[in-house]
Amino acid sequence: MAHQLEVAEWREIQNILKETFDIWSPGLTRDKYLEFIWQQMQHPWTRGNYRYLMIRANQRASTPLASMKFYRINMSARGRTYPFAGFGAIYTRQDVRKEGLGTELINLCIKKAREEGCFGVLLFSDIDPKFYSRFGFQDMSNQKFFLALADDAKEADDPEESGDPTTTRSFLDTTPDTIDFLTRHYQRWLRGRPFGVERSSIYFHFKIFRENFLAENSRLSWPRLELIRGNDEEAGGYAIVEYGGRVLRILELVGNDAGRSRLWLSIIKRAGELDVVRISGWESMLSDLAPGFSVNQFETINSALPERIRTLLFVDKTRGRSMILPLQEETEMWPFICPNPILELDHL
């Protein structure tokens, strides 16, 4: 029996959330999980770009057979905009699994993306990517890096005292000044990338809101985002980091060559202040090291860095692997670009 693709209303979404609470409520209570999704659905960016799509047994059934989030995002490459669809939270109800309903839902959503003129589909897989390869999705280069720091990293010289341009740090907020700063530097930086997600100020606000909600309400030790901001407007840029335990993770590092060099120094300094022994991130942070990904290439950033870094290690990501389904000829080569340019804050 073929099913019809429908947009889920809040009543159906609540039933979806009851089913998915145990797997996708990151340390939130049930009430906070509902509030988290409700506030996302009411956000200005969401109202035009984010829907729950579903298939159900019949028009009277309030609990979907299978459901997913369907995003509309724009990708940018060489100054041109490419409309994309994003898939997320793909779920089949437990009592009807192994009946091909998830496959049916995905095929219907791919058809919808084609009909809406999308150049491709982006998703992040937490399962074996072979499942999605059946639909034509291609696994991009998906690696994490780890920089092991020298024992004396926390005793490193203060960049301010050594004449290095200063940076300021603060918890990431959603004030207009911060959002404008991030948007302006990101848009400038995106023009030099092979491709990436276009971001408006409303999009940035949405992404930071989600992280802040989790940091404030999760019962887990959810890390807070921290902004490292370059002072120089032209060569400054920014880095967004988070830390937990003795690991500092770089989510984004945005700026021109001079700005990124200074931001790397500030990140190493911040790691020392926190007594961090390891810095990690997705491979998209290491465009400065392409194509060889060698610690020695840090000399091209700043000669001080190799003294503070012991080893550089890469491992394959097992969760959140970015996959792309090209739908038109212009995006067919995107899966093969290395390093993978997708940033962690764009995880759907």
How many C-beta atoms surround the C-beta of residue 132 within 10 A? 21
Name the least confident of 81-95, 99-113, 151-165, 288-302: 151-165
Give the number of other Cβ atoms within 10 Å of residue 311's Cβ: 11
CA distance linking residue 209 with residue 283, whole number of Å: 25
Report field, pTM of the whole predicted structure over 0.85: yes
pLDDT bracket for residue 260 (50, 70, 90): confident
Shared domain for 281 and 332, answered yes or no, is no
d(CA 42, CA 205): 13
In 3-state terms, what secondary structure has residue 80?
Answer: strand
Residues 82 and 27 in one domain: yes
Q: Output 11 or 235, whichever has higher pLDDT.
A: 11
Across the range 84-103, mean pLDDT stands at 95
Instruction: Specify if 216 maps to a domain.
Output: no
How high is the pLDDT of residue 288?
A: 60
Q: Is residue 247 included in any domain, yes or no? A: yes
Report how far residue 271's alpha carbon sits from residue 135's, in angstroms, rounded to the nearest whole number.
Answer: 42
Write the CA distances from 292 to 17, 57, 196, 288, integer angstroms: 44, 53, 22, 10
More confident residue, 144 or 310: 144
Mean pLDDT of 107-112: 98
Residue 194 resides in a domain: no
For residue 7, is pLDDT > 90?
Answer: yes
Same domain, 89 and 104: yes
**181-204 as b/e, with b when 16 or more CB fall inside 10 Å?**
bbbebbeebbeebebbbbbebbbb
Inter-residue contact 172 to 211 (CB < 8 Å): yes
Which domain range does residue 133 map to? 6-140+320-346
Total domains in the chain come to 2
Supply the mean pLDDT for the chain.
87
Please tell me whether residues 129 and 272 are part of one structural domain: no
CA distance 348 to 345: 8
Instruction: Read off the amino acid at residue 109.
Output: C
